[in-house]
Amino acid sequence: MVVSTRIKTIGDFIAKGDAVVDVGADHGLFELYLIAKHQNITITAIENKIGPYKILENNLKGLKNIKLSLSDGIASVNKETKTVVIAGMGGINIKNILNAHPDKVKGLQKIVIDAHRDIDIARRTIVNYGFRIVCEKIVFEQNKFYVVSEFKRSEKVHNYSENSLQIGHQLYKDELWPKYRDYLIETNNKTIEKIKDLDNMQDKVLKLMKMNERLRKYGKN
């Protein structure tokens, strides 16, 4: 089985003894990788769309230690679940999934996300639930950048800088950071060119310009 770098990176944040819930399991490629890596691991694969769920069911048929759930978000998470993976969606969706069941979030010890946009919204939401940012890793695959983030429950309140929440927690240490930074700046510049002459968009233009300046200085002070 060919496994993507992104799936492998998410899997690197999962320990051998974790009881994992994968929200938005799609076709179950992450589950197949985890089972191959940690044979005795327990996984609950959640999918809320019937089409992908049927493929998921077929792909994982007969595999031990894997439970399937046709449900939304973390609605079916039980008290024994301590690790949740939410990958392949935007930060706003991740926020909504967690906020829909705050009591269940409070019982978790680890959250691993792969937010494809609005990562800052996901970071702020998870930190506000009492988690600390343990590690973030940049992945470049099929001409796209991804950021995989690991959060763990913390008794201590962590006051993160705006850079850590909006840009990334120590991402400047990642070997891919220079390329990722240039990609973000280029994306912002393209947006600026599209909207700079439009009425009522000057505030956004200024915010993007300030963001680019912060990106250039990030990690240098």
The pTM of this model reads 0.93
171 lies in some domain: no
List the chain pLDDT tens, one digit each, 221 residues.
678 999 999 999 998 878 899 999 989 999 999 998 887 888 999 999 999 999 999 999 888 889 999 998 998 888 888 999 999 999 999 999 999 999 999 999 999 999 999 999 999 999 999 999 999 999 999 999 999 999 999 988 889 999 999 999 999 999 999 999 999 999 999 999 999 888 889 999 999 999 999 999 998 86
Is 182 part of a structural domain of the chain?
yes
Which residue from 152, 146, 148, 150 is spatially nearest to 131, judged by alpha carbons?
152
Instruction: Give the domain extent around 110.
Output: 5-166
Q: Tell me if 172 is assigned to some domain.
A: no
Q: Do both 121 and 201 map to the same domain?
A: no
Q: Are residues 11 and 111 in the same domain?
A: yes
Domain boundary among 166, 187, 203: 166
Could you tell me where the DSSP H helices lie in the chain? 5-12, 29-37, 50-59, 91-99, 102-105, 119-128, 162-166, 177-195, 202-217
Same domain? 155 vs 205: no
